[in-house]
Amino acid sequence: MSDSFEAILGHTFQRPALLKEALTHSSLVHRQGRRQGSNERLEFIGDRVLGLVMAEWLIERFPREQEGELGPRLAHLVSQPVLAKVAETVGLADALSVGRGEVKSGLAKRATVLADALEASLGALYLDGGLEVARGFVRRAWNDAMVGQVEPPKDAKTALQHWALARGLGLPLYEVTARSGPEHAPQFTVTVYVGDADGSGSAGSKRAAEQLAAEALLVRVAT
């Protein structure tokens, strides 16, 4: 499967172990009793590479816009819902290795897992092929999302509120549906409800989780 994913990424790896690591979820590593070898480290660098390449692309595409307009565009393009959608489009879920017990639960298709694995794959691309190779993949994979941005996107919560009120659905309702992690590093899951639709997001603060939930619901109602 990694061979076919190489074709999707547009790069033949000199160090195949990097791609294998990028496509290995921590659930598989922990099940095998190992502490290293999952895609978490590559996700760390892939996140930075994506931010740089995307900022460069935005500066090029919107030469007259300032930070106040470019910032929301960047935040949207690197957001979890957009990353998950790109990952689904390129077929990443089929290439991802997860623990045996997590296969049946559909872990590989969760937005958070897909987004993280996509960033890890980008990190592997950068480390193996350099910035030009990473840039080429980003510009192909994110083209539709970039081209679809005619106007700078609004704050996700504001945009969702406008969408709901325009359809007579009332104000979105946000609810903390889960909390995990230690007190010094909590993780909140927030679900937002609008009519019969809902969306969820997880982050280290309630405010950030609300934004992710709003983004997830906007993506859902737009597709």
Query: Which residues form the catalytic set?
Result: 47, 119
Amino acid symbol at 34:
R
Amino acid symbol at 95:
A
Instruction: Tell me which long-range contacts 4-8 makes (C-beta under 8 A, separation of at least 24).
Output: 4/95, 5/91, 5/92, 5/95, 5/121, 8/90, 8/91
Which residues lie below 8 Å from residue 94, measured CB to CB, with a gap of 6+? 1
CB 169 within 8 A of CB 161: no
- Give me the torsion for CA of 116, 139, 72, 130, rounded to 10°: 60
Neighbour count for residue 164 (Cβ, 10 Å): 21
